Structure 1
Amino acid sequence: MISRDDALAIARQWASAGRPGPAPEVFLHEFDLGYVAWRAEPRPPATDGPPAPPPATGYPRAVIDRESGEVSQWPSLPEQLIAERYAQRRAAEGRFPPDVRHVLEAAGWFPGRDVTSAVNHWMVRFAEDLAGLDCPPVARAALVEFGGLVLPQFGNSGRLGGGFTSYIHPTRGGVLTESARIFAEEYDNPVYPLGNNEDGPSELVIDAQGRVFMLHWVDDFFVAPDLDSAIVSLIRGDQMTEASDRDW
Protein backbone atom coordinates (compact mmCIF):
# COMPACT_ATOMS: atom_id res chain seq x y z
CA MET A 1 0.00 0.00 0.00
CA ILE A 2 1.43 3.37 -1.04
CA SER A 3 1.33 6.08 1.62
CA ARG A 4 1.10 9.78 0.86
CA ASP A 5 4.81 10.19 1.63
CA ASP A 6 5.61 7.31 -0.74
CA ALA A 7 3.43 8.92 -3.40
CA LEU A 8 5.22 12.26 -2.98
CA ALA A 9 8.59 10.59 -3.49
CA ILE A 10 7.34 8.76 -6.60
CA ALA A 11 5.74 11.94 -7.93
CA ARG A 12 8.95 13.95 -7.49
CA GLN A 13 10.88 11.27 -9.34
CA TRP A 14 8.31 11.33 -12.16
CA ALA A 15 8.36 15.13 -12.34
CA SER A 16 12.19 15.17 -12.41
CA ALA A 17 12.53 12.84 -15.39
CA GLY A 18 14.56 14.56 -18.09
CA ARG A 19 14.95 17.75 -16.05
CA PRO A 20 18.33 18.76 -14.62
CA GLY A 21 18.62 20.27 -11.17
CA PRO A 22 16.77 19.60 -7.94
CA ALA A 23 13.46 17.76 -7.90
CA PRO A 24 10.56 20.14 -8.56
CA GLU A 25 7.77 20.58 -6.07
CA VAL A 26 4.63 18.60 -6.82
CA PHE A 27 0.98 18.68 -5.83
CA LEU A 28 -1.03 15.59 -4.94
CA HIS A 29 -4.75 14.92 -5.08
CA GLU A 30 -5.63 11.81 -3.10
CA PHE A 31 -8.57 9.58 -4.06
CA ASP A 32 -9.68 6.02 -3.30
CA LEU A 33 -7.43 4.27 -5.82
CA GLY A 34 -4.34 6.45 -5.58
CA TYR A 35 -2.98 9.92 -6.15
CA VAL A 36 -3.07 12.41 -9.01
CA ALA A 37 0.24 14.27 -9.24
CA TRP A 38 1.36 17.35 -11.16
CA ARG A 39 4.30 19.73 -11.10
CA ALA A 40 4.05 23.00 -9.20
CA GLU A 41 5.17 25.68 -11.63
CA PRO A 42 6.20 29.18 -10.52
CA ARG A 43 3.82 32.00 -11.29
CA PRO A 44 4.94 34.28 -14.12
CA PRO A 45 6.01 37.78 -13.10
CA ALA A 46 3.33 40.46 -13.25
CA THR A 47 3.31 42.55 -16.40
CA ASP A 48 1.58 45.72 -17.51
CA GLY A 49 0.14 43.99 -20.57
CA PRO A 50 -2.43 41.22 -20.89
CA PRO A 51 -2.13 38.48 -18.25
CA ALA A 52 0.06 35.57 -19.20
CA PRO A 53 -1.54 32.12 -19.49
CA PRO A 54 -1.08 29.73 -16.56
CA PRO A 55 2.42 28.21 -16.71
CA ALA A 56 1.16 24.66 -16.22
CA THR A 57 -1.27 24.69 -19.15
CA GLY A 58 -0.79 21.54 -21.18
CA TYR A 59 1.65 19.84 -18.80
CA PRO A 60 0.86 16.17 -18.23
CA ARG A 61 -0.30 14.73 -14.96
CA ALA A 62 0.30 11.35 -13.41
CA VAL A 63 -1.69 8.84 -11.41
CA ILE A 64 0.14 6.79 -8.79
CA ASP A 65 -1.74 3.60 -8.01
CA ARG A 66 -2.35 3.18 -4.29
CA GLU A 67 -1.80 -0.58 -4.31
CA SER A 68 1.14 -1.03 -6.67
CA GLY A 69 2.76 2.39 -6.95
CA GLU A 70 2.54 2.09 -10.74
CA VAL A 71 2.65 5.45 -12.51
CA SER A 72 0.47 6.23 -15.52
CA GLN A 73 0.60 9.51 -17.41
CA TRP A 74 -2.54 11.50 -18.14
CA PRO A 75 -3.39 14.69 -20.05
CA SER A 76 -3.73 18.08 -18.40
CA LEU A 77 -7.25 17.65 -17.02
CA PRO A 78 -8.79 18.55 -13.65
CA GLU A 79 -7.59 16.15 -10.98
CA GLN A 80 -11.14 15.10 -10.06
CA LEU A 81 -11.85 14.14 -13.67
CA ILE A 82 -8.61 12.17 -13.91
CA ALA A 83 -9.48 10.32 -10.70
CA GLU A 84 -12.92 9.48 -12.09
CA ARG A 85 -11.51 8.22 -15.39
CA TYR A 86 -8.85 6.20 -13.62
CA ALA A 87 -11.53 4.49 -11.54
CA GLN A 88 -13.49 3.73 -14.72
CA ARG A 89 -10.38 2.32 -16.38
CA ARG A 90 -9.64 0.06 -13.43
CA ALA A 91 -13.24 -1.16 -13.34
CA ALA A 92 -13.07 -2.03 -17.05
CA GLU A 93 -9.67 -3.75 -17.01
CA GLY A 94 -11.10 -7.21 -17.63
CA ARG A 95 -13.70 -6.13 -20.17
CA PHE A 96 -11.56 -6.55 -23.30
CA PRO A 97 -8.44 -8.64 -23.96
CA PRO A 98 -5.21 -6.60 -24.15
CA ASP A 99 -4.84 -6.69 -27.96
CA VAL A 100 -8.41 -5.47 -28.49
CA ARG A 101 -8.21 -2.89 -25.73
CA HIS A 102 -5.06 -1.46 -27.31
CA VAL A 103 -6.89 -1.01 -30.64
CA LEU A 104 -9.89 0.56 -28.92
CA GLU A 105 -7.81 3.03 -26.94
CA ALA A 106 -5.80 3.97 -30.04
CA ALA A 107 -9.12 4.64 -31.79
CA GLY A 108 -10.20 7.02 -29.03
CA TRP A 109 -12.24 4.79 -26.72
CA PHE A 110 -11.96 4.97 -22.96
CA PRO A 111 -14.19 3.69 -20.14
CA GLY A 112 -17.07 6.07 -19.63
CA ARG A 113 -16.84 7.52 -23.14
CA ASP A 114 -20.07 9.35 -24.01
CA VAL A 115 -20.85 10.91 -27.39
CA THR A 116 -24.55 11.44 -26.75
CA SER A 117 -24.63 14.82 -28.50
CA ALA A 118 -23.10 13.37 -31.68
CA VAL A 119 -25.55 10.46 -31.66
CA ASN A 120 -28.52 12.79 -31.15
CA HIS A 121 -27.35 14.98 -34.03
CA TRP A 122 -26.90 11.92 -36.26
CA MET A 123 -30.39 10.65 -35.46
CA VAL A 124 -31.92 14.01 -36.31
CA ARG A 125 -29.85 14.39 -39.48
CA PHE A 126 -30.88 10.97 -40.80
CA ALA A 127 -34.36 10.88 -39.27
CA GLU A 128 -35.98 10.12 -42.62
CA ASP A 129 -33.62 7.22 -43.33
CA LEU A 130 -34.11 5.81 -39.82
CA ALA A 131 -37.89 6.28 -39.78
CA GLY A 132 -39.71 3.13 -38.72
CA LEU A 133 -36.66 1.55 -37.11
CA ASP A 134 -36.90 1.24 -33.34
CA CYS A 135 -33.68 2.09 -31.49
CA PRO A 136 -33.64 -0.19 -28.42
CA PRO A 137 -31.71 0.90 -25.30
CA VAL A 138 -28.86 -1.52 -26.02
CA ALA A 139 -28.37 0.00 -29.48
CA ARG A 140 -28.36 3.55 -28.18
CA ALA A 141 -25.90 2.62 -25.43
CA ALA A 142 -23.61 1.06 -28.05
CA LEU A 143 -23.67 4.18 -30.21
CA VAL A 144 -23.16 6.51 -27.25
CA GLU A 145 -20.07 4.62 -26.07
CA PHE A 146 -18.47 3.57 -29.36
CA GLY A 147 -19.98 5.99 -31.89
CA GLY A 148 -17.58 7.50 -34.39
CA LEU A 149 -14.79 5.00 -33.77
CA VAL A 150 -12.81 3.52 -36.64
CA LEU A 151 -11.71 -0.01 -35.71
CA PRO A 152 -9.02 -1.64 -37.84
CA GLN A 153 -8.84 -5.41 -38.06
CA PHE A 154 -5.92 -7.79 -37.69
CA GLY A 155 -5.19 -9.50 -40.98
CA ASN A 156 -4.25 -13.14 -41.55
CA SER A 157 -0.60 -12.23 -41.00
CA GLY A 158 -1.42 -10.73 -37.62
CA ARG A 159 -0.77 -7.18 -38.83
CA LEU A 160 -3.23 -4.60 -37.57
CA GLY A 161 -4.93 -2.95 -40.52
CA GLY A 162 -4.47 -6.01 -42.71
CA GLY A 163 -8.15 -6.92 -42.50
CA PHE A 164 -11.47 -5.14 -42.94
CA THR A 165 -12.03 -1.96 -40.95
CA SER A 166 -15.29 -1.33 -39.08
CA TYR A 167 -16.85 2.12 -38.74
CA ILE A 168 -19.32 2.72 -35.92
CA HIS A 169 -22.12 5.25 -36.42
CA PRO A 170 -22.15 8.21 -36.44
CA THR A 171 -19.79 8.03 -39.43
CA ARG A 172 -18.85 10.69 -41.94
CA GLY A 173 -21.06 9.07 -44.55
CA GLY A 174 -24.75 8.36 -44.56
CA VAL A 175 -26.69 5.41 -43.23
CA LEU A 176 -28.22 2.56 -45.22
CA THR A 177 -31.29 0.88 -43.79
CA GLU A 178 -32.73 -1.25 -46.59
CA SER A 179 -30.75 -4.35 -45.57
CA ALA A 180 -31.78 -3.90 -41.94
CA ARG A 181 -35.44 -3.74 -42.93
CA ILE A 182 -35.16 -6.84 -45.11
CA PHE A 183 -33.34 -8.72 -42.34
CA ALA A 184 -36.00 -7.74 -39.78
CA GLU A 185 -38.77 -9.02 -42.02
CA GLU A 186 -37.01 -12.22 -43.03
CA TYR A 187 -36.04 -13.25 -39.50
CA ASP A 188 -38.84 -11.50 -37.60
CA ASN A 189 -36.09 -9.80 -35.60
CA PRO A 190 -35.93 -5.99 -35.75
CA VAL A 191 -32.42 -4.54 -35.86
CA TYR A 192 -30.91 -1.06 -35.77
CA PRO A 193 -27.90 0.30 -37.70
CA LEU A 194 -24.66 0.07 -35.72
CA GLY A 195 -22.08 0.84 -38.40
CA ASN A 196 -20.49 -0.59 -41.50
CA ASN A 197 -17.56 -2.77 -42.47
CA GLU A 198 -15.23 -2.65 -45.46
CA ASP A 199 -15.89 -6.30 -46.30
CA GLY A 200 -18.40 -6.08 -49.12
CA PRO A 201 -18.94 -3.38 -47.93
CA SER A 202 -21.50 -4.57 -45.42
CA GLU A 203 -23.74 -3.15 -42.72
CA LEU A 204 -23.43 -3.84 -39.00
CA VAL A 205 -26.70 -3.98 -37.06
CA ILE A 206 -27.74 -4.78 -33.50
CA ASP A 207 -31.01 -6.15 -32.14
CA ALA A 208 -32.86 -5.52 -28.88
CA GLN A 209 -31.02 -8.40 -27.17
CA GLY A 210 -27.64 -6.90 -28.07
CA ARG A 211 -26.83 -9.48 -30.75
CA VAL A 212 -24.76 -8.11 -33.62
CA PHE A 213 -25.09 -9.10 -37.27
CA MET A 214 -23.21 -8.28 -40.46
CA LEU A 215 -25.43 -7.81 -43.51
CA HIS A 216 -23.21 -8.64 -46.48
CA TRP A 217 -24.24 -8.73 -50.13
CA VAL A 218 -23.28 -12.43 -50.20
CA ASP A 219 -25.23 -13.38 -47.07
CA ASP A 220 -26.18 -12.23 -43.59
CA PHE A 221 -23.82 -13.26 -40.79
CA PHE A 222 -24.09 -13.59 -37.03
CA VAL A 223 -21.15 -11.73 -35.47
CA ALA A 224 -21.61 -12.27 -31.72
CA PRO A 225 -24.26 -12.56 -28.98
CA ASP A 226 -23.35 -9.20 -27.40
CA LEU A 227 -21.63 -5.96 -28.31
CA ASP A 228 -18.34 -6.51 -26.47
CA SER A 229 -17.90 -9.94 -28.04
CA ALA A 230 -18.74 -8.46 -31.43
CA ILE A 231 -16.06 -5.78 -31.06
CA VAL A 232 -13.51 -8.45 -30.20
CA SER A 233 -14.59 -10.52 -33.20
CA LEU A 234 -14.53 -7.59 -35.62
CA ILE A 235 -11.07 -6.44 -34.53
CA ARG A 236 -9.59 -9.94 -34.53
CA GLY A 237 -11.29 -10.98 -37.76
CA ASP A 238 -12.93 -14.06 -36.28
CA GLN A 239 -15.02 -16.40 -38.39
CA MET A 240 -18.77 -15.77 -38.41
CA THR A 241 -21.66 -18.14 -38.91
CA GLU A 242 -24.44 -17.53 -41.39
CA ALA A 243 -27.50 -15.92 -39.85
CA SER A 244 -29.63 -18.49 -41.64
CA ASP A 245 -28.18 -21.15 -39.32
CA ARG A 246 -30.23 -19.46 -36.58
CA ASP A 247 -27.72 -20.44 -33.91
CA TRP A 248 -28.17 -17.09 -32.25
Structure 2
Amino acid sequence: MSPRFSPDVEQRLRRAGWFPGREVDTEAWRVPLEEEGFVFPDVVVRFLREFNDLYLVHDGRGVDVGRQPVEFDPTLAVGEVDRFEAWGADVGRTIAPLGELERGMFFLGMDETGEIYLVSNWAARYGVGDAGLERLLLGYRGEELPQ
Protein backbone atom coordinates (compact mmCIF):
# COMPACT_ATOMS: atom_id res chain seq x y z
CA MET A 1 0.00 0.00 0.00
CA SER A 2 1.39 3.41 -0.94
CA PRO A 3 1.71 6.14 1.68
CA ARG A 4 -1.16 8.57 2.07
CA PHE A 5 1.03 11.70 1.74
CA SER A 6 4.39 12.46 0.19
CA PRO A 7 7.21 12.48 2.77
CA ASP A 8 7.48 16.28 2.48
CA VAL A 9 3.78 16.89 3.16
CA GLU A 10 3.62 14.29 5.92
CA GLN A 11 6.61 15.94 7.64
CA ARG A 12 4.93 19.39 7.47
CA LEU A 13 1.67 17.97 8.83
CA ARG A 14 3.42 16.16 11.68
CA ARG A 15 5.35 19.32 12.63
CA ALA A 16 1.97 21.06 12.91
CA GLY A 17 0.63 18.34 15.24
CA TRP A 18 -1.11 15.95 12.85
CA PHE A 19 -0.79 12.19 13.22
CA PRO A 20 -2.61 9.25 11.60
CA GLY A 21 -5.95 8.71 13.29
CA ARG A 22 -6.11 12.25 14.72
CA GLU A 23 -9.64 13.33 15.67
CA VAL A 24 -10.75 16.60 17.23
CA ASP A 25 -14.22 17.67 18.33
CA THR A 26 -16.27 19.57 15.76
CA GLU A 27 -19.26 20.67 17.85
CA ALA A 28 -17.66 23.79 19.35
CA TRP A 29 -17.30 25.50 15.97
CA ARG A 30 -20.01 23.74 13.99
CA VAL A 31 -23.05 24.97 15.88
CA PRO A 32 -22.30 28.73 15.71
CA LEU A 33 -21.16 28.54 12.07
CA GLU A 34 -24.25 26.58 11.04
CA GLU A 35 -26.42 29.13 12.87
CA GLU A 36 -24.69 31.81 10.78
CA GLY A 37 -25.74 29.96 7.63
CA PHE A 38 -22.74 27.79 6.71
CA VAL A 39 -23.47 24.24 5.60
CA PHE A 40 -20.89 21.54 6.34
CA PRO A 41 -21.13 18.47 4.10
CA ASP A 42 -19.95 15.23 5.73
CA VAL A 43 -16.65 15.21 3.80
CA VAL A 44 -15.81 18.65 5.21
CA VAL A 45 -16.61 17.57 8.76
CA ARG A 46 -14.39 14.49 8.35
CA PHE A 47 -11.55 16.67 6.98
CA LEU A 48 -11.83 19.15 9.85
CA ARG A 49 -12.11 16.37 12.44
CA GLU A 50 -8.63 15.34 11.28
CA PHE A 51 -6.98 18.69 10.46
CA ASN A 52 -8.76 21.43 12.44
CA ASP A 53 -6.55 23.54 14.73
CA LEU A 54 -3.38 22.84 12.73
CA TYR A 55 -1.15 25.74 11.71
CA LEU A 56 1.45 25.03 9.04
CA VAL A 57 4.18 27.66 8.82
CA HIS A 58 5.67 29.21 5.69
CA ASP A 59 8.08 26.65 4.37
CA GLY A 60 10.10 28.07 1.49
CA ARG A 61 9.82 27.52 -2.23
CA GLY A 62 7.01 25.55 -3.70
CA VAL A 63 6.42 24.02 -7.11
CA ASP A 64 4.71 27.13 -8.59
CA VAL A 65 4.47 29.54 -5.65
CA GLY A 66 5.98 29.86 -2.19
CA ARG A 67 4.62 27.54 0.48
CA GLN A 68 2.43 29.89 2.46
CA PRO A 69 1.17 29.50 6.02
CA VAL A 70 -2.04 27.49 6.28
CA GLU A 71 -4.34 27.54 9.29
CA PHE A 72 -7.19 25.05 9.51
CA ASP A 73 -9.88 26.74 11.59
CA PRO A 74 -13.29 27.35 10.00
CA THR A 75 -14.19 30.02 12.58
CA LEU A 76 -11.77 32.35 10.81
CA ALA A 77 -14.52 32.76 8.17
CA VAL A 78 -17.12 34.16 10.58
CA GLY A 79 -19.06 36.88 8.76
CA GLU A 80 -18.13 35.54 5.31
CA VAL A 81 -21.03 33.18 4.60
CA ASP A 82 -22.12 35.34 1.65
CA ARG A 83 -18.70 35.00 -0.02
CA PHE A 84 -18.75 31.20 0.33
CA GLU A 85 -22.35 30.99 -0.88
CA ALA A 86 -21.58 33.15 -3.93
CA TRP A 87 -18.62 31.04 -5.04
CA GLY A 88 -20.58 27.88 -4.25
CA ALA A 89 -23.37 29.09 -6.53
CA ASP A 90 -20.84 29.83 -9.28
CA VAL A 91 -19.47 26.26 -9.20
CA GLY A 92 -22.80 24.61 -8.40
CA ARG A 93 -21.58 23.22 -5.08
CA THR A 94 -21.77 23.93 -1.35
CA ILE A 95 -18.43 25.37 -0.20
CA ALA A 96 -17.73 25.33 3.54
CA PRO A 97 -14.81 27.08 5.25
CA LEU A 98 -11.66 25.19 6.25
CA GLY A 99 -9.49 28.08 7.42
CA GLU A 100 -7.03 30.57 5.93
CA LEU A 101 -4.02 30.76 3.64
CA GLU A 102 -1.24 33.36 3.85
CA ARG A 103 -2.12 34.64 7.34
CA GLY A 104 -5.66 35.64 6.46
CA MET A 105 -5.06 36.92 2.95
CA PHE A 106 -7.27 34.14 1.55
CA PHE A 107 -9.87 31.73 2.90
CA LEU A 108 -9.78 28.02 2.24
CA GLY A 109 -12.92 26.00 1.61
CA MET A 110 -14.07 22.54 0.61
CA ASP A 111 -17.17 21.35 -1.23
CA GLU A 112 -19.24 18.20 -0.89
CA THR A 113 -16.96 16.32 -3.32
CA GLY A 114 -13.87 17.11 -1.21
CA GLU A 115 -12.53 19.72 -3.66
CA ILE A 116 -10.32 22.27 -1.87
CA TYR A 117 -10.68 25.95 -2.84
CA LEU A 118 -8.97 29.25 -2.25
CA VAL A 119 -11.83 31.73 -1.63
CA SER A 120 -11.45 35.50 -1.89
CA ASN A 121 -12.81 38.07 -4.35
CA TRP A 122 -11.53 35.46 -6.80
CA ALA A 123 -11.33 31.69 -6.37
CA ALA A 124 -9.15 28.76 -7.34
CA ARG A 125 -9.29 25.02 -6.82
CA TYR A 126 -6.52 22.63 -5.81
CA GLY A 127 -8.00 19.18 -6.21
CA VAL A 128 -9.98 16.65 -4.21
CA GLY A 129 -9.13 15.35 -0.73
CA ASP A 130 -5.56 14.30 -0.01
CA ALA A 131 -4.46 15.15 -3.57
CA GLY A 132 -5.80 18.71 -3.18
CA LEU A 133 -4.15 19.04 0.22
CA GLU A 134 -0.84 17.88 -1.29
CA ARG A 135 -1.06 20.45 -4.08
CA LEU A 136 -1.88 23.23 -1.60
CA LEU A 137 0.93 22.33 0.79
CA LEU A 138 3.54 21.71 -1.92
CA GLY A 139 3.04 25.20 -3.35
CA TYR A 140 1.16 24.48 -6.54
CA ARG A 141 -0.83 27.37 -7.96
CA GLY A 142 -4.55 26.63 -7.78
CA GLU A 143 -6.61 26.50 -10.96
CA GLU A 144 -8.27 29.91 -11.06
CA LEU A 145 -12.03 29.87 -11.54
CA PRO A 146 -13.69 32.23 -14.01
CA GLN A 147 -15.42 35.22 -12.44
TM-score norm. by structure 2 comes to 0.84
Q: 1:221 is matched with which residue?
A: 124
The number of residues matched between the two structures is 144
Which structure has the higher relative contact order (CA within 8 Å, separation 6+)?
Answer: 2
**CA shift digits 1:201-241 (9 cap, x unpaired):** 11111111111111133x210111x1212221222111221
Gaps in structure 2 of 5+ consecutive residues: none
**CA shift digits 1:20-44 (9 cap, x unpaired):** xxxxxxxxxxxxxxxxxxxxxxxxx
Q: 1:193 is matched with which residue?
A: 97
- Distance in 1 between residues matched to 2:131 and 2:40, nearest whole Å: 20
Q: 1:114 is matched with which residue?
A: 23
Gaps in structure 1 of 5+ consecutive residues: 1-90
CA contact under 8 A between 1:153 and 1:234: conserved in structure 2? no
Q: 2:141 is matched with which residue?
A: 239
CA contact under 8 A between 2:24 and 2:49: conserved in structure 1? yes
CA contact under 8 A between 1:115 and 1:144: conserved in structure 2? yes
CA contact under 8 A between 2:77 and 2:99: conserved in structure 1? no
CA contact under 8 A between 1:134 and 1:192: conserved in structure 2? yes
Amino acid at match of 1:235: L
Distance 1:147 1:229, change over 3 A: same
CA contact under 8 A between 1:200 and 1:216: conserved in structure 2? no
What RMSD, in angstroms, separates the aligned Cα atoms of the two structures? 2.4
- Distance in 1 between residues matched to 2:82 and 2:68, nearest whole Å: 22
Of residues 109, 123, 129, the one that matches 1:205 is 109
Percent identical among aligned pairs is 28
Bigger-Rg structure (1/2): 1
Of residues 17, 33, 41, the one that matches 1:136 is 41
Quick check: 1:146 aligned with 2:51?
yes
Q: 1:177 is matched with which residue?
A: 81
1:1-248 paired onto structure 2 within 5 Å: 94-116=3-25, 119-129=26-36, 131=37, 133-156=38-61, 163-170=67-74, 173=76, 175=78, 176-198=80-102, 201-217=105-121, 219-224=122-127, 226-244=128-146
How many Å apart are 1:153 and its aligned residue? Answer: 4.1
- Distance in 2 between residues matched to 1:221 and 1:207, nearest whole Å: 13
